[in-house]
Amino acid sequence: MLAGRARRARKAPTGARPRYLPGAVPGAGEPVSLTGEVRSVVVGGQQLRVAVRPGRVAAAGRPPLLLINGIGVSLEAFGPLLRELDPDVEVIMFDPPGIGGSARPRGPYRCTGLCRLIAGMLTELGYDQVDVLGISWGGGVAQHFAAFWQSRCRRLVLVATATGSLMVPARPSVLVHMVIPPRRQMQREHLYRVVGGVFGGSARQHPERVAEAMRDGDWLGSPLGYLYQLVAAAGWTSLPFLPAIRQPTLIMAGDDDPIIPLANARLMNLLMPRSRLHVYHGGHLGLATEAAELAPVVDAFLAAP
């Protein structure tokens, strides 16, 4: 197994055929100069849209960074963070099934199936090990991946996330908005009326920052893809296996996050033996709206000995 940067010219497994097509993919959205090379990767019959931003130079001893997004949004939503992350580090992003440029799955899927798909995607791309950052819904996926695909994950960053169905919940007035399709949430009249109370942080005074981060909804997935993501998380919880996650873990949480109350991050920090907690001043979307402040925290953690 590789320790560090993946081999660029990794030979495909015996009997395998090339499964990604370099170049533009329908719905790519953000210029390739930002997201890197956009590809279509097929894993187990499921087509995934993937973007890889190459590092400028080899980052000594560090594997690439895999980003797993929140519910209902495509990989372009990582743009603000990507602009602030260390350009020397290779970054991998993808659209989950049914979101952005990835094909709809044959039917609903569970977290275990998605993690198996991610592992297959990394193998197809030639990566044995990565660092993983997951935000919100993607943070749950990242926890599952780190626990059950331990050899593929060196370090873990969990942002604005919790332990799944067994967690300290948001207020009912906030939860009701989570069943509204994302495109409806991003409509201007709805956004400016409720966004501050839902996302917290700078969105309270500057709801336009959320619209800008989501490019007025251009980077949101289909209603069916959103529904499948909800199904994947239904009944799932990481509480039984959190103590078994042995990777060094950075937990990042906002002090004004109505969706994921701060108590959840404190609980995860208590249960994960090699974790540390960073509380930032902001809300649920701080990784996008305050990327310039938070990206250096991520970089420092991943670069630490």
| Positions marked catalytic | 136
Of 115, 122, 158, nearest to 254 by C-alpha is 158
DSSP symbol at 21: E
Among positive and negative, which fits the CA dihedral 261, 99, 34, 299? Answer: positive
Which residue shows structure tokens 């370099």?
22
Among positive and negative, which fits the CA dihedral 25, 101, 111, 86? Answer: positive
Contact residues for 209 (Cβ-Cβ < 8 A; gap 6+): 202, 203, 289
E strands present in 54-125: 65-68, 91-94
What are 49's two structure tokens? 């849209």
CA 268 to chain centre: 18
Question: Distance (Å, rounded) from C-alpha 76 to C-alpha 299?
Answer: 20
Of 177, 189, 155, nearest to 300 by C-alpha is 155
In this structure, how many other beta carbons lie within 10 angstroms of the beta carbon of residue 301? 19
Of 100, 137, 89, 144, nearest to 119 by C-alpha is 144
